[in-house]
A and B are shown apart, each in its own frame.
Chain A
Amino acid sequence: MAQLTRTERQIALALFVGLAVAGLLMVAGGRADPLGLHGALILGVAVFGSFGIISKYYEPLPGADRLREYYDDPSKFGVVAAMVWVAFGLFMGDWVAWLLVNPDLTFDAAWSSFGRIRPVHTTSVIFGFGGNALIATSFYVMQRTSRARLPDQLSPWFVLLGYNLFCILAVTGYMLGITQSREYAEPEWYADIWLVVVWIVYFVTYLRTLARRKEPHIYVSNWYYLAFILVVAMLHIVNNLAVPVSLGHAKSYSLFSGVQDAMTEWWYGHNAVAFFLTSGFLGMMYYFMPKRAGRPIFSYRLSIISFWGITFFYIWVGSHHLHYTALPQWVQTLGMTFSVLLLVPSWASAGNALLTLNGAWHKVRDDATLRFMMIAAVFYGLTTFEGSFMAIRPVNSLSHYTDWTIGHVHAGALGWVAMITFGSIYASVPWLWKRDAMYSARLVEVHFWLALAGTIVYVFAMWNSGIVQGLMWRTYNESGTLTYSFVDSLIAMHPYYIARAVGGLLFLIGALVGCYNMYMTIRAAPQRKRLASTSDMPAAVPAIAPAE
């Protein structure tokens, strides 16, 4: 706020007023529908935001010297938001896991039923945690690699706050029963339209910063972030084409149906994995890992080749989610072929990351933050191999519909995405808040081991249960009939479901330890004057110290 100029404060206020009007219209139009509740929520946010602006409106304006520093306040907000979302999302996830152990661990109320809170979990961790971390780090990285400050103070806030509003609409919507049922794209039409607006501002902000860059070459991390922004926009728009029942209804009907809809959804679904959960996080890795290790990336060229490889191989592979279904077989074969080819750029990236650490192994040993990143690269390699393997039709005939898929996803989500994010956050928190180091290196260490143990327990439990399940479903006895009923396979899952829930709990505790550590770093650690050194940290300039 303190860094916003007069005009920016005015625009911000106008935006909040506009948002309030939109909320009011939704309340009026959706009186008889859950849409009205969302209208009220939006209205509340807008009123709260307007008061925030008004109360600070006459605070001193920022001086021109602010332009000599990077603008990091939005990144700080994004990092904190990511940690809040991860704690919430992991908690919901573990609750869902326990529900499969004992389905009565819930309230006798619709909002808390499995089918509604499962998407709350997935959205919170993917979009809440992952998305905030991506936006926060992308602002951080693009400014530094471009040697340029963000073009203005308002648009990054618009992106972050708008994005979090989208996430809140999404998760509250599921609990109210508002969902499109499109996996990983559940929010309804109005939230989707809002996200498009936010995303356009994000993209324009990115381009404007790049246009201001003083460093002629665009560092490879930005390529990945840009691909993430662009392709996610494309996927989001096409996948969410729908006709609302009316402007006063939250519910909409998708434009496509049946087989076209299935292909569209999985074209989206798998590329959300590619461009949301891979591309963006690779961008993170290519910046924070070399930075933390103090060594340039092993092969910059390889990173370029794998960038394009990932961009144009990934986009074909969605149909491997639909093997042996009513989808035409040639599309299935295409998906399978490209999934296998995808191994090349994926392993090139993983190998590149690990080779970057070659020669810095002593640092990996001593520094849990770097170890987070190292393990992330290992899991990235493992998961992409597993993914290519599972896309092969006969393998898929066993693994599909089982917990093996869940295990695979979590090897990627916990092992790769969460680990690289925790590593990057631990690296950037002291840089952002200008502290010497995290509050406690020991606690980072504790978090690391809890996260690793949790991931391993989780993934092994799901591998076992998935394979057992898949085999039981297809076991025949001598007389040529199926040996096991579905319920037999369900009973066999019980111990694995317990193990999985315990693994998830370990991971959750680790994340909570991380939250505590960050809280203490931000709140309690003394702000020391930094020594002028080769380090990248901006020297603290008291006059423009960010308002907190």
Chain B
Amino acid sequence: MTFIAHDTLVWLSKSIGLFYLLILSAAVVVYAYWPANRKSFERAAKSIIEGEDRPWG
């Protein structure tokens, strides 16, 4: 891996790493709170409480 200088690699790590993190965090929050997803999440939360006594045919 000598073809990239250490400093360059460190710089890349520090800069892209940070942006990647911010973008990913934002994306997750948006996904979780996207209004259209609300119903499916609520249904999912309840889904384990009943109706799972056997595989659905």
Instruction: Please report A residues at the B interface, Cβ cutoff 8 Å.
Output: 67-70, 143-145, 147-149, 214-215, 217, 219-220, 287, 290-291, 294-297, 300-302, 304-305, 308-309, 312, 330, 334, 534-539
User: Is the pair B54, A312 in contact by a Cβ cutoff of 8 Å?
Assistant: no
User: Is the pair B28, A309 in contact by a Cβ cutoff of 8 Å?
Assistant: yes
Query: How many residues of chain B are within 8 Å of chain A by beta carbon?
Result: 29
Tell me the bound Cα distance from A300 to B28 in angstroms: 13
Residues of chain B within 8 A of A538, CB atoms compared? 53-54
Name the residue of chain A whose CB is nearest to the CB of B14. A330
6 A–B contacts, CB within 8 A, in A order: A217-B40, A290-B48, A330-B10, A330-B14, A536-B50, A537-B53
From the candidates B10, B46, B55, name the one contacting A143 in the complex (CB within 8 A). Answer: B55
Q: A300-B44, A308-B25 are in contact. List 17 more A-B contacts (CB 8 A).
A: A69-B55, A70-B55, A145-B47, A145-B52, A217-B40, A219-B44, A287-B48, A291-B49, A296-B45, A297-B45, A301-B41, A304-B41, A305-B28, A305-B32, A308-B24, A308-B28, A538-B54
B3 is an interface residue with CB less than 8 A from chain A: no
Instruction: Please report B residues at the A interface, Cβ cutoff 8 Å.
Output: 10, 14, 17, 21, 24-25, 28-29, 31-33, 40-57
Known interface pairs A144-B48, A220-B44, A330-B10. Does A70 touch B54 (Cβ–Cβ under 8 Å)?
yes
User: Is the pair B44, A217 in contact by a Cβ cutoff of 8 Å?
Assistant: yes
Residues of chain B within 8 A of A147, CB atoms compared? 51-52, 55-56
Known interface pairs A300-B42, A309-B28, A330-B14. Does A145 touch B48 (Cβ–Cβ under 8 Å)?
yes
Tell me the bound Cα distance from A69 to B55 in angstroms: 6
Tell me the bound Cα distance from A290 to B45 in angstroms: 9
User: Is the pair A535, B53 in contact by a Cβ cutoff of 8 Å?
Assistant: yes
Name the residue of chain A whose CB is nearest to the CB of B42. A300
From the candidates B21, B28, B47, name the one contacting A219 in the complex (CB within 8 A). Answer: B47
From the candidates B14, B43, B49, B57, name the one contacting A290 in the complex (CB within 8 A). Answer: B49
Query: Which of B17, B49, B55, B56 is most buried by chain A, counting CB atoms within 10 A of its CB?
Result: B55
User: Is the pair A217, B43 in contact by a Cβ cutoff of 8 Å?
Assistant: yes
Residues of chain A within 8 A of B53, CB atoms compared? 535-539
Name the residue of chain B whose CB is nearest to the CB of A316. B17
Tell me the bound Cα distance from A67 to B56 in angstroms: 10
Tell me the bound Cα distance from A537 to B50 in angstroms: 10
User: Is the pair B49, A300 in contact by a Cβ cutoff of 8 Å?
Assistant: no
Known interface pairs A68-B57, A217-B40, A330-B14. Does A304 touch B32 (Cβ–Cβ under 8 Å)?
yes
Measured CB to CB, the closest approach of chain B to A15, in angstroms, equals: 26
Known interface pairs A305-B28, A305-B32, A312-B21. Does A215 touch B54 (Cβ–Cβ under 8 Å)?
no
